[in-house]
Structure 1
């Protein structure tokens, strides 16, 4: 069964880490989490997470003896809250940076990052230009406005020699930390979900892989550059399977973690989203 749940409207479609969860509004973990009975209820973002679990459900789960209940959730605030409330057994939509920030600002509950699955690469896209070097003086560049992905976006522009970012800003760098901008670029942070539809209004935009896929930007626009794969790239930015501490050893969760690294799944990711989504194998390495 693949169940689609649209739990929060478009207004909640934001990656702003500081806004993740309301500590005083969430309950603690439910008593039935991790009991290991019935279908495994997993909350996912529709693309590519939901597609990957649907592939497992259709091709691997029955043979492995795993029953899945896939709940597609359109926002980034609900999946962790639903896990804490006992409405889900696991979720698959976030990277460690997002999870850590949510836990810091969320309820008194312990969540475990079970395993890495894939990386959605940030790319610099343009409908007009074919390379970063083609961007004109004064070009308008849109970037994600949430802290983790804004820093990633700036790293792309810096790697292409378009700007220099203050090294002291670290992983919380914003457009205000640009110390050298020789081409007088205008860097404008926007809500990540709005970037694809804003592409026609700017010279280029740094867009999250999932939104680029959903809006067919990967097919209709030029990729000027991919984000650099720096130190701890997988550890920082891989999206993975998450469960409550007491549910992390649930045999259903562990079985799903194993299936997520099946060679057939790795191949499916590579063939379906070639270059945009990078599969991560069981050893935590990007699958070639």
Structure 2
């Protein structure tokens, strides 16, 4: 039962985070795992595990790593405004850099420490009730914030000029969306490790089913994320039984081909 609850809560958190970032940049290729935000959280969390530091610092460091990575990406991508394509390219570069940092940490420190970090990095849902409580607290706090920010995101999608004329503070709103999305994603990374592509896929499916951004669409996205991650974990447990795969392996197997499909459509549209 804790595993099921963690899968549902983690899927909702990741999907909502992906919906926020895609709406903010108005780009279907943006999600916290694609542009390196999850990798920043993972790098800080693995540093805690590999260095043998206090494990209680892991959630805080994961959130700090996600937020710092997001700030770096947005600063590097800023050129008199945001370009979705530029941000994706910068994010992919930052993602590669942070992946190299993770590899260094896994090679640098003793095997008895990094073995646990390596298993955790694969993204496993073998969790306890304390993990479920941490995810529940994060979701209870941040999901209402995400729903409140939806109206601002709707206005911001009209363009910067229209948003400012309607009284929306662009920079404050962007910072609020970034912090909320990072918090949702980093909480999941801190509890179960990185789980790729859920944040990318769920918003796409929700938009296909329900259309434009609304609060109802955000809730539908969260529910679809829960279903996707729960289904992925079921496949991970049963497909190669008695061997149990990490859920992150299955989400990556599902998300990789879909990402290529989205890239192809994006290039044709461009």
Do both share a fold (TM > 0.5)? no
TM-score by length of 2: 0.25
Name the structure with the higher helix share: 2
TM-score by length of 1: 0.24
Larger Rg: 1
Q: Comparing both chains, which one has the higher relative contact order based on Cα–Cα distances under 8 Å and sequence gaps of 6 or more?
A: 2
